[in-house]
């Protein structure tokens, strides 16, 4: 009998050699699974970071803090009577906060409206922010807010999450891969929301510090009320605030007022800010 080769007696829809899955659907399923695994892993590791930070001894925190300083020293630092006045204010607020290591304030001659804290106990205030304030109480709240970040150990939490992000990146086919570039924005977005929750927690502690120093919380919303007239709250995307690390000024004013009411703090007369 002569052998006659022939195709299997099925059409293409039944042929086992023909895949019926859509490539894009398969890619989407795989990518969704990877994102879910990374998200869960990031969340669990973030909880571990918070647990470790909360139970870190003060002496270890101080040791870690000493390893940090401004990477590029400011060339426009102001050292005058007003900067000494701010340092005294910071010291008085620190006593109310109970931060265990020294804090140092640096006043920089910069027009930007900004103030920020750096691991190691350094708080930098720009003269542009000072020019927006009229009361000592309003400035004291800003300083108390930055002190609260040290009190809450937010810098250690952020550093810990940074280590987690870098570790996850290393596990995802290298830092320059296409998958890594798709996943990292998702992780970064989650970190922004975490930052917003920490900002609101710092506001709550700052109110308590302000009340301790002055006996009331008058001036607590002065800085953010001033921002309402700036581009920060100009008309724009409804979802734009979601991508900011700090909540919008209007939301901050309303939340600070609500927090003060819940804590039973009264609003009193403010003290005029010393002229520069």
pLDDT tens, residue by residue, 166-195:
666 666 656 566 655 655 555 555 555 557
pLDDT tens, residue by residue, 219-276:
999 998 887 766 544 444 444 444 455 567 788 889 999 999 999 999 999 999 998 8
Say if residues 105 and 90 touch (Cβ distance below 8 Å). yes
Per the prediction, the chain carries an average pLDDT of 77
Between residues 242 and 141, the one the model is more confident about: 141
Say if residues 55 and 153 touch (Cβ distance below 8 Å). no
3 state SS for 151-218: HCCHHHHHHHHHHHHHHHHHHCCCCCCHHHHHHHHHHHHHHHHHHHHHHHHHHHHHHHHHHHHHCCCC
Say if residues 123 and 104 touch (Cβ distance below 8 Å). yes
Averaged over 37-63, what is the pLDDT?
71
pLDDT tens, residue by residue, 97-137:
988 778 889 999 998 888 888 777 889 999 999 999 999 99
pLDDT grade for 216, boundaries at 50, 70 and 90: very high
155 in a structural domain? yes
Task: Give the model's pLDDT for residue 135.
Answer: 95
Task: Give the model's pLDDT for residue 15.
Answer: 55
Say if residues 35 and 183 touch (Cβ distance below 8 Å). yes
Three-class DSSP category at 80: coil
Closest CA to 221 of 209, 242, 239, 203: 203
11 in a structural domain? no
pTM exceeds cut of 0.85: no
Burial per residue of 79-90, b for 16 or more beta-carbon CB atoms within 10 angstroms, e otherwise: eeebbeebbebb
For 175, the domain range is 25-228+245-263
60 has a pLDDT exceeding 80: no
Closest CA to 220 of 194, 258, 275, 193: 258
How far is 160 from 139, CA to CA, in rounded Å?
A: 30
How far is 144 from 131, CA to CA, in rounded Å?
A: 18
14 in a structural domain? no
Closest CA to 204 of 269, 275, 154, 244: 154
Q: Phi and psi of 252, rounded to 5°?
A: -65, -45
Task: Give the model's pLDDT for residue 238.
Answer: 42
182 in a structural domain? yes
Domain tally, the chain: 1
214 has a pLDDT exceeding 90: yes
Say if residues 198 and 206 touch (Cβ distance below 8 Å). no
66 in a structural domain? yes
Closest CA to 110 of 143, 74, 148: 74
15 in a structural domain? no
């Amino acid at each position: 009998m002569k052998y006659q080769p022939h195709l299997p007696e099925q059409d293409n829809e039944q042929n086992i050699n023909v895949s019926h899955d859509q490539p894009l659907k398969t890619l989407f399923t795989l990518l969704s699974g990877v994102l879910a695994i990374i998200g869960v892993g990031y969340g669990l590791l973030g909880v571990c970071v918070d647990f470790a930070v909360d139970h870190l001894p003060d002496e270890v925190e101080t040791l870690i803090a000493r390893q940090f300083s401004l990477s590029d020293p400011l060339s426009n630092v102001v050292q005058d009577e007003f900067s000494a006045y701010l340092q005294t204010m910071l010291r008085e607020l620190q006593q109310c906060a109970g931060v265990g290591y020294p804090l140092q304030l640096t006043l920089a001659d910069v027009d930007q409206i900004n103030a920020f804290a750096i691991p190691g106990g350094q708080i930098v205030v720009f003269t542009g922010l000072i020019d927006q304030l009229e009361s000592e109480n309003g400035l004291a709240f800003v300083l108390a807010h930055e002190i609260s970040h040290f009190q809450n150990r937010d810098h250690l939490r952020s550093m810990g999450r940074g280590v987690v992000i870098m570790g996850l990146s290393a596990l995802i086919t290298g830092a320059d891969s296409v998958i890594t570039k798709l996943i990292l924005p998702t992780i970064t977005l989650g970190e922004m929301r975490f930052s917003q929750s920490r900002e609101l927690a710092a506001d709550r502690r700052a109110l308590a510090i302000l009340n301790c120093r002055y006996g009331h919380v008058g001036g607590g919303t002065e800085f953010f009320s001033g921002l309402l007239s700036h581009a920060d709250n100009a008309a724009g995307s409804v979802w734009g605030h979601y991508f900011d690390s700090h909540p919008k000024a209007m939301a901050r004013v309303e939340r600070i007022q609500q927090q003060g009411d819940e804590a039973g703090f009264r609003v009193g007369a403010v003290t005029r800010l010393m002229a520069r």
